[in-house]
Amino acid sequence: MASIRSTQVGQHLTVKKIAQIYGNNPKIQFLTSHTNHQYGNYPKAKDPNLILPIGTQVQVIGKGRANTKYSESYVTVIDHRNNQFDIFSSDLRKHFQ
């Protein structure tokens, strides 16, 4: 199970629950759930390049503390399509092994 403390720069993480990359600003892209649930916080992505199916691997390229860029700590990752985005600490356990 992934956690902010045990995750290191250079490490590869594997998606265990379908997710998507969201963000209207190219400098602020982050991971969210890919769901049709009526109470979902973000719209479901239609672009297949923004969807992370189960088994997708991402590489950690940085870490950030809470209250710097976001209110919680995060890791910055890159996938095989060169999408660079952030994963909040609360989403690491939910979406990654």
DSSP string, 23-66: EEETTEEEEEE----TT-SSPPP--GGGEE-TT-EEEEEEEE-T
pLDDT of residue 73: 95
Count the domains in the chain.
1
At 1, the pLDDT band (50, 70, 90 cuts) reads low
Residue, of 35 and 76, whose pLDDT is higher: 76
Would you say residue 23 lies in a domain?
Answer: yes
Q: Please work out, in degrees rounded to the nearest 5, the angle formed at the alpha carbon of residue 16 by the alpha carbons of 15 and 17.
A: 100
Would you say residue 87 lies in a domain?
Answer: yes
Per residue in 48-64, pLDDT (tens digit) is 999 999 999 999 999 99
pTM value > 0.75: yes
Would you say residue 84 lies in a domain?
Answer: yes
Note down the domain range covering 68: 12-95
